[in-house]
Amino acid sequence: MKEVGSFEKWVEILATEPQVLLFVKTDHCSVCEGLYPQVAELEKDYPFPFYKVNAAQVPEMAGQLSLFTAPVVLLFHQGRETARFARFVQMEQLRLRMDELTEWGNEHA
């Protein structure tokens, strides 16, 4: 997963990537640490890029994306949020939504 270091960089990513997954974590978050490897493992199965950001280090991201907890997994298509999974993420639901995102990408390719 690539790291997002600023909100400006995130805006640039959304403008250039048709589909994106964003994993949001924060400092001292045991749930984040447990979920991250599970989500990172999915990256090899999907054609779109995965990014991560530490909301404690880039607080503007939390404000701009209305993030009130961590971890959060966000899916984007054409710059718009299509799915949001917060705190306790059900991996089968995440996979289902990521499969949908892949299908949308294939339809518009």
Which tens digits make up the pLDDT trace of 88-101? Answer: 889 999 999 999 98
Averaged pLDDT score across all residues of the chain: 92
Domains contained in the chain, number: 1
Q: In terms of residue numbers, what domain contains 22?
A: 2-107
The Cα-based distances of 103 to 19, 48, 51, 70, 106 in angstroms read 11, 11, 20, 28, 5
Look at residue 104 and tell me whether its pLDDT is greater than 90: no
Full-prediction pTM beyond 0.75? yes
- CATH number of the domain at 39, please: 3.40.30.10
47: Cβ contacts below 8 Å, ≥ 6 apart: 19, 102, 105
Q: By percentage, how much of the chain surpasses pLDDT 70?
A: 98
